[in-house]
Structure 1
Amino acid sequence: MASSEAKEVTQPVKRSDQRQLQKDEMKIDRKIKKQDHNDRKSQKRKQRAEKKLNRMPVRRVFPIWLRVIVVLVLALVGLFGGMMVGYGVIGDGNPIEALDLDTWRHIIDIVIAE
């Protein structure tokens, strides 16, 4: 019975036709790959959006406003410490006098006086 089935007869195909078929197949393959790539991208976007919605809000242990205050306080401590070291150690004076307002008035008078 198998011998009674009609067999397809393949005729030789021209080389230009083969090339055109290959080009068409490559175009179809590129379209399929591009579609798969776009599907993966959209799926990743959906996952990121869902993850963002389900994310718990961040509670900072050390709030930003407190960080600003700490930085300002540390800057002031550094300024006063530098004044005391400069006046006391380098200038051979009493370090506590560097914090006295009269000392700074005297220094300004010396600098401004002509």
Structure 2
Amino acid sequence: MAEQSKKLVHRRFPLIVRILLFVYIAVIVFFVGLMIGFGILDNPIEVFRLETWEHIINLTKE
């Protein structure tokens, strides 16, 4: 029986680092998208105000 050589794959970035980097970039892209989308209507910084979200929720409930 021939021996199979086991190669150790050396990765540049470990799996957990890649997952955390993906989550970090996804969160940043999400907030940038919110700012761009809301910026069409009003001041983009106002998307982070609690009153803005309360107003949006009140509009959708009625």
Larger relative contact order, structure 1 or 2 (CA cutoff 8 Å, min sep 6): 2
**Alignment partner, residue 78 of structure 1:** 29
Structure with higher Rg: it is 1
**Alignment partner, residue 15 of structure 2:** 64
Equivalent-residue separation in structure 2 for 1:79 and 1:68 (angstroms): 16
Equivalent-residue separation in structure 2 for 1:86 and 1:59 (angstroms): 41
Percent identity of equivalent pairs: 35
Question: In the comparison of the two structures, how many residue pairs are matched?
Answer: 62
Task: Return the structure number with greater helix share.
Answer: 1
Runs (4+) of structure 1 exceeding 2 A deviation are none
Note the aligned Cα RMSD (angstroms): 1.6
**Alignment partner, residue 103 of structure 1:** 52
Q: Structure 2: which 5+ runs fail to align?
A: none
Deviation at 1:59, TM superposition (A): 2.5
Q: Structure 1: which 5+ runs fail to align?
A: 1-41
Equivalent-residue separation in structure 2 for 1:112 and 1:78 (angstroms): 28
Question: 3-state DSSP class of the match of 1:60?
Answer: coil
Alignment of 1:1-114 (within 5 A): 46=2, 49=4, 52-53=5-6, 55=7, 57-88=8-39, 90-91=40-41, 93-113=42-62
